[in-house]
Structures are given as C-alpha cells and as structure tokens.
Amino acid sequence: MKSATRRGLSRRALLAGGAVAVGLPFLDVMRPPARAAGPVRPRRLLCYFVPNGVRGDAWFPASDPVLQLSPSLAALAPVKERVIVFSGLANAPGLPELPGSHASGTAAFLTARKARRSEVDLHVGVSLDQRYAAAIAGATPLDSLQLGCEGGGSFGACDIGFACAYHRSISWSSSTTPLPKLTSPRLAFDLLLAGDDPGASAAARARRRAQRRSVLDVVLADIHDLEGDLGVGDRVRLDAYLAGLRALERQVDAPAGACPAASPPGEPADFLAHLDLMNELMVLAFACDRTRVLTFMLGNAASNRAFPFLGVEGGHHDLSHHAGDASKIAGLRQVDAWQAAQFARLLQRLADTPDGDGDLLRSTIVLLGSDVGDGNSHSHHDLPVLLAGGDDLWGGGRHLAYETGTPLARLYVSLLQALGLPDTRFGEDGDGPLTGLRLDA
Amino acid sequence: MRSASASSDSTRRATERAPGHGERAAIGLLLLGIFAVACAPEPAAPPVPEAMVRRLTAFEYANTVRDVLGVEASLAREFPGDPPALGFDTVATSQPPSSLLVQIFQHSAESIADATLRSESARAALHVCTPAPADPSPCLRAIVESLLTRAWRRPPERAELERYLALIEPAELDAGLRLVIEAALLSPQFTFRWERDAGAPGESHWLDDHALAVRLSYFLWSSAPDDELLALAVVGRLQDASVLAEQVERMLADPRAAGFVDGFAGQWLHFRGLDDIFRDAHRYPRYDEAVRDSMREAMRRRFREFLVPGRDLRDLLLDTHAHVDAELAALYYLPDEVAVGEFTRIDLGPHKRRGLLTEPGLMTVLAYPFASAPTRRGRFVLEQLLCSPLPPPPPEAAAQPVSDASTARERLAHHRADPACAGCHAILDPIGLAFEHFDAVGAWRGSEHGELIDAAGELPTGERFADVRELAAIVADDPRFPRCVATHVLTYALGRPLVAEDQPVLSNIYKKFIAADRDLVALIVAVVQSDPFRARRAQEAP
C-alpha cells in the first residue's frame, strides 16, 4: 500500500480538521439510531493504536471527574458523552531494560507483558483482543481482523535488537505469534466478504461454496500427508497453517449474513483517503457481523510519517523528540489533535450505524492507546488512554484520574469482564479490575 | 476475481522460453543417459544447525507464480509485509503463519486461477497436451502432473496426483483446472518450502536433490527452480560441487537473478525501502515517484555489475561511474547538453561522488523527511558494510537537549559534549558527517543554513579523509568489509541467524572470497557449496 500524501490535499485538509463524516460509496448503512429499552451488553472490541505517545500538557483533561475536553481532544466534542478519558495509567512491562521503548511499548500495548529482545525468537504474550477472540471463536466468520495504515519499510532494523514484528503488530494470538495487519482496503474488503460476489445469484454463490469446500478438502489431505513427515519445529508451523484452513472451513459453512450490498473500495488516492476507507471497513466489519474483534494501527511504532497537509514540518517520531523546540511541540500538538479527530470520526460512524435496538458504538468497546506516554522521554507511565462505547456499563463524559503508575492491565481485566469473560488477571500486572470504572461496581 | 491480470511482456517471454512438456522429458532422458552414474555425495553429512521450514515471502510468492504459471500475482503486492528479522524478510518467514495469511492465500489462489485461465499464453503453457475426446485421461494426468511438479518444485506422489485429478470432470475441463490451480496454490506444498528429514532426530544428512534445487533457486532467483534445475535434480547431479558452481554462474546471468538483486541487495543496501520514502513537495520539488523508481533502478544496476565473475566487490564503493536516466539527471545537475534519456553510465569525475555511498537512493533512504541524517548514514556504514554495530544509546539519549546549532556538525558536537553519548558518537559522527554534502534526496549541496559544509573527518584509528570519496576507499580496504558481506550473504542464503557452529564455515567462505579477489560470484559459489547450505539436521520427533 502506497500512500501518496503530496497531491490534491486541500479539500481533505479542510475535512480533516473536524469531525466531518465523509460519505463513502461502498457501504450505506446510515440510519437514525434507536435506543434499546434494557441495557446493552458490549460484544465487540476495537483497539486503536496511535504511535509515539502524545504531548501530555495539551492532551490530558483538567482534573475534574466530568470530562472537560483538552485542546488536543477538542474534536471529540460530538461524541464526548460516550467517551471516558483516563489519566495516571501505566504499562510498566513496556519499559525495556535497554533502549527500544517503541518496540517494547508497542508489543506491551495490548499484552501488558515484557517483550523478549530478539530478532528471531519472538516472545511477549497473548493480546487483549486475541484473548477475547479466542473466547468467542466461531461466533463470526472471522475471529478477528487486524488493520492499519502503515505497512512498514521492507528493509533495515526497527529498534535495537527487537525484530520489526514488534513494531508492526499489536495483536498476538500466542506469546510467540504476532498477527500481521492488512493495509490494503481492497484486500481487507475482499477478505471481509470472504470473496463473495454480492452481485452473483444465489445458485452461483452456492456452487462457489461447494467448489471451495472441495478445494479445502484436497488441501487438508495434503496437510494430513505432510504431518507424518515433520519434526517438532516444522510441525508447529504446519499446525498454524491447519488452524487457518479450519477457519476457512468455518467461513465456507457460515451463513452469508445480512450484509448490505457493498461495492469494493478502489485504490486510495492519498493517506487521508486511505484512512477514510479503513474507518469504513471497520464499520462494515461490525455492521455485517463478519467479526467482533478489530485492531487498528494508525501508524507503526516510531512512525515517522510527515503531515504536510497540517502544515506541520517534520516526521512524527522526529517531532516527538522535540528537545524542547517550541515549533516541534506545536507541531506535535497539531498531530495529536488531528489523530483525535480521526478517532472521533470513527466513533461518530459507529454511533450513526444502527445495531439491533441501539447503535454499533453502544455494543462495542473502543479503546485508544499508544506505546509510550511522553514521546520525548519514552515514559511508560501517564499513558494516553481513551475508552468509548459500551455506554450502558460505564456511561461517558467522564475523566477518570488514577494515581500515577496504576496498571493499565487492570483496565483490560475490566474490559474482559465487561465482555462476559471470567478473567480476573491480565498480563504481568493486571491483578484485578480497575476500580471506579463500572457504574454498577 | 478482479485482481490478477495477464503477465507482462517479460514474463511472457520467460514462459515462451521454457521448453514444452515433451521437450522437457527429452532433456531429462538425455541427462539421464549422460549422467547415468550419478555422483553420490560423501556418505555422512557433517553436523549443521537446525533450521525451520520457511514460508514464501510475498516477493517469492509473486515470482514463483510468474515463473510457474506465467501470470502476475497482483494481490501479492498487497499481502501484509513480512517484517524483516536480521535485516531480511526471508529470515522472518520461519515464524508460524497467521490464520489471516491463510485466508489471503486462498483469496489470491482464486484470483490467480482466474487470471491463468483468462490469459491465452498461460493457458497454452498449462495445456502440455490436448486431451483426446475418446480418452482424455492420459493428457489430463500429464497436465496436472506438470503443473504440480512446477508449483511444488518436485514431482507429486501418485496419491497426490490422483487427489488433484479427482477435482476435474473431463466434460468441464476449465472448471476443473481452476480448482486444481486453486488447491495447488493454497496447499502448504506451494506456500512453504518443506525439506524432508532423513535419518535419526538430531543427526544431519545431505538434502535430497529437489530440496537442494529449491534452496538454490530461492537464494538466487527468489523463485522456483526451472526445468534445467529440476532435470539436474532428477538425475542427482546437483550434489556435484562443480555442477553447483556452473549453475550459480548460469543463474546469476539469467534475468531471474533480479530476485537476488531485489531480495538480497534490496534489503542489504536498503533500496527496497525507497517504496516507503516520501518527501515534502515544496522542499524537495525534484523528488517524486518517478525519481524514486529511478533511484532504485540505478542502485540495482550498480549492484548487478558484480553478478558476473571477475569483479572486485571493493569497486561497489570505489567505482567512478553511476547509472543515470532523465529522472536522475536533475539531481546530478547534469547540463542540458548531456541529453540523458534511458539509463546510461556517466563519469562521476566532475561530481565529487563515488560508488554506492553517494547513490541518491541510498542518501534518500538514510535521511529524515526534512533533513539529512548523519547518524543513520554512519550506522549504515558500521552495521551494513562493516558489521560493527554500536551499543544502543543510553536511555537519557531519547530526550535530547535544545540545540541552536545551524549545521549538523555543530549539533552533533554539542551532543558529544555529553559524556554518556561521547563514546559512540566519536565513532559514528565522523562517518555520518562525511555524507553531509548530500541532502535528504541525495542532491549535492555546498552549504547548510548558509554555513559551508565540512565533510572531512578522522576515524578513531587516526585515519583521515577529506570527504566521502576518501572515506569510501578506507571502508573498501577495511578487512571487516568483505567479512561483513560474507556474513550477510550467508545469513540470507540460510534464512536463519548464524550461530557459533557456523563460524568455521563463515571463515572458510571468507577465505575463498578473499582468495578470489573479492569476486562476489566466487563468494556465492562458496556459500552454495558449504555444508549448511547442502545439509540439514533432522528435527526432534513430535
């Protein structure tokens, strides 16, 4: 995926400033939301990663339990009553013994575990999203989907001694398996709809399913033949492949689902168009119930994306190491505010999309976070953390200030419990749920 | 079904070049006759480290589809990239695959099957015979056997062949072939490079001939073996060291060696990373996608010169010419009367440039979006060319103090005033600052913020240089350079980290490289003839 950011940006730049929903051609599910009579239990999880931390002085709200939006979060105004901002949370396992904070912080973002410093022997932990995906496996055609806007340079080292996978994945299905993310809207769209051609007749689609079934049977037999020949190391790889084929089998057997007629997205013209398409794909995935677990990386760890459309000079990572330079700090605040605006637009789209008796946001837990707190000093405390949706459990318009150093992983325990799991611990330091979050607890 | 298209002209030519099925059988028989006495390798293999099976990278997948089926795997460009480990994506593919990837493979296989049946040339290559209406079976068998042999890089077993044949109803040949292609490409036999264990767990054994052909072709072509390699494998000739050497020369002269240029050099010398480099159009009006593509092509051409025997790899750094086309001419400030259109060699004499280290593409990859990056450039020389990485910076280096310096040299001088930083930067800075005449898109400049640039420096060893051209000569003569090249090539070839057991092998390869006056082809031959390339340690039983 290539994102040209140089041309034709003036209109986009205007739109990017505020929470303006850009209508996109391939999904039309906007209808006025209705309110359910009883409480809605969240059943979806969306984790949203922004790189390089934030400039805290303009990001964190004033110390008032009623949310007063800070300058960097101003764009959240339309959805403010459905958002909780946290301060004081820390992800201590993200702190590496030697430099490499972006790799270790990103690997720890959803795992709350310390990443092993290695180029080939990856190890961290199961991520929050994958813990939930495993618990509800089979409920939807795709157990989970990982998306992002930055593929990552196919060269060089990423962070000293850490494999690049730590930089580019936040989802880990096991402590040794990072899940790669899709950055291509077209490929993501095709996979979401499982290659179904919505224009085809029912008979043609049924025939296609039967054919897929026979292809899978042949490939499964190939796997069976291989199994006996393999040693223990290669067997692990084949088993992972087999798990993927089993997931494909479930998809072939799954009902088509009530997905509104959707046409595939084209090649995005620039980064902003790319981001819009990814937002729409996330809404589509939930609206059609193709999956209930999404993760999204706005950028990879230590992303050095430039923001010429904001009039900001410099790459994001370079700006984050501002060394006190006033113009860089101002640029960083602009980037933070822009990121919040993108996130707000996604929330608005979820809020505008009906789901049962309510809207998608109400039945979805949306979590935003980063690898570090302050990008200049690589701190792993005072992290930017934002929660949206799941309103019936904890409301919104709140600012929850905790004592500095309170484990982020406690929030993850709370989220898993809210999603109906019995978990009482998570990661290295999630020793129980976060107090004060639930309205009923 | 929208996603694949017929192959480009060059791949179609490659398809046409390949002999037909009957011809291939004839070659095989001929070879069988000539080499009836196959050269068996030494009976017992020396112990080699364990290696895990590797999946095809997106690049290898696309090349393999092109060479096996003659169509473009257009979706492969959109596969999630394999994040490099030890600098190479081929090392990362020993990680277990995710379910998402399997789903992508299925989608891609369907798209490629569709493209194959739509393309006249690909269809023709697939149909190695015409089924007789009365008895189509023998021809169907030949078609499927030929396809599986090429796609799986080995002849299928009888049961496998029957299984795939069962997908075809002779009355609906196209529909059946579509499913055969879909299954063949989704099969782990295609997406992975399996090597069979022979012998007791923990013991090493020589690779079978097909596995060796596959290692060779993915090393030098990032693609499947061609008919000649498969024919040699059938008769056991690849175990012969001299045959391996001949094959290396043949393969490096083949256009498919572009797989080694992009797969190895593209990652070692970072030019693959140009895909992700964007520049502000106002500050760098000369830089756009066309320039970027030309930068990459110029670096490819510089590297490719060393894939023929008889070149000294030091010249990669020392050559006084560059490959320049119309897009790059402006970056070189070529006068209009030097009308440059297609790529041509220019003399760098008047340009204060020399070899790889002043390539605009390299200078661009090793820069910040809005400025040169002396530390990145210094690190590149130390890590990629000399394999002498510095220890990581201290934690407090993340928060740098404010600096009002106007040049990079002054800024780094302030930085070195901090004793925690001084040790490493004393090594790093003189190298990195030697490149300061080249801006963030590799154009030459005399000054920065009105101050004249001083590119001269002195290494901790006391060696002095006036500019990057003299630095290039120092690096080229540094004994760490050829050893580092050998390390990178061996790591790429084996697709795994080098361990202590590999050190004698590496030393031996290095000695042969030096003895051949740093001939890269000789280095590659030495790698291919080495024990870890030709042998495998049987894994523990599950």
Each domain of chain A, given as residue ranges in start order, spans: 10-193+261-418, 197-255
Contact B84, A156 (CB under 8 A): yes
Report B:372-391 residues touching A (Cβ under 8 A): 383
Q: What's the confidence (pLDDT) of residue B339?
A: 66
Count of residues in chain A: 441
pTM of the entire structure? 0.89
**Token pair listed for A177:** 């398996």
Give the CA-trace dihedral at A387, A391, A394, A398, to 10 degrees: 60
Residue B541 contacts A, CB cutoff 8 Å? yes
Sort out which chain A residues have CB atoms less than 8 A from B189's CB and list them: 222, 226
d(CA A392, CA A372): 30
**Would the pLDDT of A2 be above 90?**
no
Helices (DSSP H) in A254-324: which residue ranges? 271-287, 316-320
- Report the number of secondary-structure helices (H) and strands (E) in chain A: 13, 11
Contact B398, A379 (CB under 8 A): no
Residues A196-249: tens digit of each pLDDT: 666 678 888 888 889 999 999 999 999 999 998 899 999 999 999 999 999 899
Residues B393-425: tens digit of each pLDDT: 776 665 555 566 778 888 888 878 888 788 888
From the list A283, A279, A277, the residue with the least C-alpha distance to A364 is A283
B183 and A7: CB-CB below 8 Å?
A: no
Confidence label for A368 from pLDDT (cuts 50, 70 and 90): very high
* Percent over 70 (pLDDT), chain B: 89
Going by their DSSP bridges, the two strands B192-193 and B54-55 should be labelled as: antiparallel
Work out the mean pLDDT of chain B and round it to a whole number. Answer: 89
Q: Is the dihedral of CA B340, B345, B349, B353 positive or negative?
A: positive
d(CA B120, CA B445): 53
d(CA A286, CA A79): 19
- Provide the 8-state DSSP code for B75: G
Which residue carries 């989970």 as its tokens? A144
Q: What's the confidence (pLDDT) of residue A253?
A: 76
Contact B122, B6 (CB under 8 A): yes
**Token pair listed for B378:** 């210094």
Sort out which chain A residues have CB atoms less than 8 A from B52's CB and list them: 233-234, 237
Q: What's the confidence (pLDDT) of residue A163?
A: 85
- In the three-class reduction of DSSP (H, G, I as helix; E, B as strand; rest coil), residue A187 is classed as helix
Backbone angles phi, psi at B267, to 5 degrees: -90, -40
**Token pair listed for A105:** 């912080």
Q: What's the confidence (pLDDT) of residue B34?
A: 44
- In the three-class reduction of DSSP (H, G, I as helix; E, B as strand; rest coil), residue B52 is classed as coil
**Token pair listed for B236:** 């056991």
Contact B317, B476 (CB under 8 A): yes
Q: Choose the closest CB to B270 out of A155, A173, A216.
A: A155
Q: What residue in A sits closest to B109 (Cα-Cα)?
A: A215
Out of A92-101, A252-261, B327-336, which region has the weakest mean confidence (pLDDT)?
Answer: A252-261
Quick one: average pLDDT of B248-257? 98
Between B345 and B42, name the one with better pLDDT: B345
From the list B49, B265, B204, B525, the residue with the least C-alpha distance to A120 is B49
Q: Would you call A191 exposed, middle or buried from its count of C-beta atoms within 10 A (0-12, 13-18, 19+)? A: buried
d(CA A189, CA B114): 19
Contact B448, B408 (CB under 8 A): yes
Measured N-to-C along each axis, helices B503-515 and B520-529 cross at an angle, to the nearest 10 degrees, of 150
Quick one: average pLDDT of B356-378? 92
What are the beta bridge partners of residue A296? A48, A147
Residue B35 contacts A, CB cutoff 8 Å? no
Residues B500-523: tens digit of each pLDDT: 999 999 999 999 999 999 999 999
Between B494 and A255, name the one with better pLDDT: B494
**Would the pLDDT of B456 be above 80?**
yes
Quick one: average pLDDT of B32-50? 64
Q: In angstroms, how far is CA A63 from the centroid of its own chain?
A: 28
Between B208 and B96, name the one with better pLDDT: B208
Contact A333, A74 (CB under 8 A): no
Sort out which chain A residues have CB atoms less than 8 A from B285's CB and list them: none
Confidence label for A181 from pLDDT (cuts 50, 70 and 90): very high
Contact A364, A46 (CB under 8 A): yes
d(CA A243, CA A223): 11
**What CATH code is assigned to A10-193+261-418?**
3.40.720
Residues A98-122: tens digit of each pLDDT: 778 899 999 999 999 999 998 888 9
Out of A83-87, A316-320, B281-285, B480-484, which region has the weakest mean confidence (pLDDT)?
Answer: B281-285
Per-residue three-class SS string for B369-411 = CCEECHHHHHHHHHHHHCCCCCCCCCHHHHCCCCCCCCCHHHH
Q: What residue in A sits closest to B93 (Cα-Cα)?
A: A120
Between B89 and A59, name the one with better pLDDT: A59
Distances, alpha carbon B537 to alpha carbons A172, A231, A235, B212, B530, in Å:
30, 10, 15, 14, 14
* B221: Cβ contacts below 8 Å, ≥ 6 apart: B63, B67, B251, B254, B256, B257, B259, B260
**What value of ipTM does the predicted structure carry?**
0.88
Residue B96 amino acid letter: P
Backbone angles phi, psi at A424, to 5 degrees: -120, -5
d(CA B140, CA B165): 8
**Would the pLDDT of B11 be above 70?**
no
**Would the pLDDT of B449 be above 90?**
no
Distances, alpha carbon B313 to alpha carbons A114, A241, B217, B264, B385, in Å:
42, 41, 23, 15, 12
Residue B75 contacts A, CB cutoff 8 Å? yes
Q: How many CA atoms lie within 13 A of A359 on its CB side?
A: 21
Q: What's the confidence (pLDDT) of residue A297?
A: 97
**Token pair listed for A380:** 């792993």
Residues A374-414: tens digit of each pLDDT: 988 889 999 999 999 999 999 999 999 999 999 999 999 99
Confidence label for A193 from pLDDT (cuts 50, 70 and 90): confident
Residue A101 contacts B, CB cutoff 8 Å? yes
**Token pair listed for B252:** 């490096």
Contact A144, A171 (CB under 8 A): yes
Which pairs from A253-257 meet CB under 8 Å and 24+ separation? A254/A140, A254/A141, A256/A196, A256/A205, A257/A141, A257/A288, A257/A289, A257/A290
Top-ranked range on mean pLDDT: pick from A263-272, A341-350, B367-376: A341-350
Backbone angles phi, psi at A379, to 5 degrees: -80, 150
Q: Choose the closest CB to A120 out of B166, B280, B497.
A: B497
Q: What's the confidence (pLDDT) of residue A311?
A: 92
**Would the pLDDT of A430 be above 70?**
yes
Confidence label for B349 from pLDDT (cuts 50, 70 and 90): confident
**Would the pLDDT of A182 be above 60?**
yes
Q: Choose the closest CB to A1 out of B78, B271, B282.
A: B78
Work out the mean pLDDT of chain A and round it to a whole number. Answer: 87
Report A:140-169 residues touching B (Cβ under 8 A): 142-143, 145-146, 151-158, 160-161, 163-165, 167-169
- A293-328 burial, b if ≥16 CB within 10 A, otherwise e? bbbbbbbbbbbbbbbbbbebbbbbbbbbbbeebeeb
d(CA B536, CA B516): 28
Residues B462-487: tens digit of each pLDDT: 999 999 999 999 999 999 999 999 99
- In the three-class reduction of DSSP (H, G, I as helix; E, B as strand; rest coil), residue A267 is classed as coil
A222 and B187: CB-CB below 8 Å?
A: yes
Q: What's the confidence (pLDDT) of residue A441?
A: 56
Q: How far is A161 from chain B (nearest CA, A)?
A: 9
A231 and B104: CB-CB below 8 Å?
A: no
CB atoms within 10 A of CB B321: 17
Q: What's the confidence (pLDDT) of residue B413?
A: 85
- Provide the 8-state DSSP code for B19: -
Residue B417 amino acid letter: A
Q: What's the confidence (pLDDT) of residue A153?
A: 62
d(CA A365, CA A46): 6
CB atoms within 10 A of CB B13: 13
From the list A179, A181, A183, A211, the residue with the least C-alpha distance to A195 is A211
Quick one: average pLDDT of B274-283? 78
Q: What residue in B sits closest to A178 (Cα-Cα)?
A: B98
**Token pair listed for B196:** 């069979």
- In the three-class reduction of DSSP (H, G, I as helix; E, B as strand; rest coil), residue B148 is classed as helix
Backbone angles phi, psi at A90, to 5 degrees: -135, 150
Q: Is the dihedral of CA A224, A228, A233, A234 positive or negative?
A: negative
Q: What's the confidence (pLDDT) of residue B338?
A: 65
Sort out which chain A residues have CB atoms less than 8 A from B94's CB and list them: 120, 237
A241 and B103: CB-CB below 8 Å?
A: no
Residue A210 contacts B, CB cutoff 8 Å? no
Contact B183, A212 (CB under 8 A): no
**Would the pLDDT of A157 be above 70?**
no
Q: What's the confidence (pLDDT) of residue B176?
A: 96
Quick one: average pLDDT of B372-399? 84
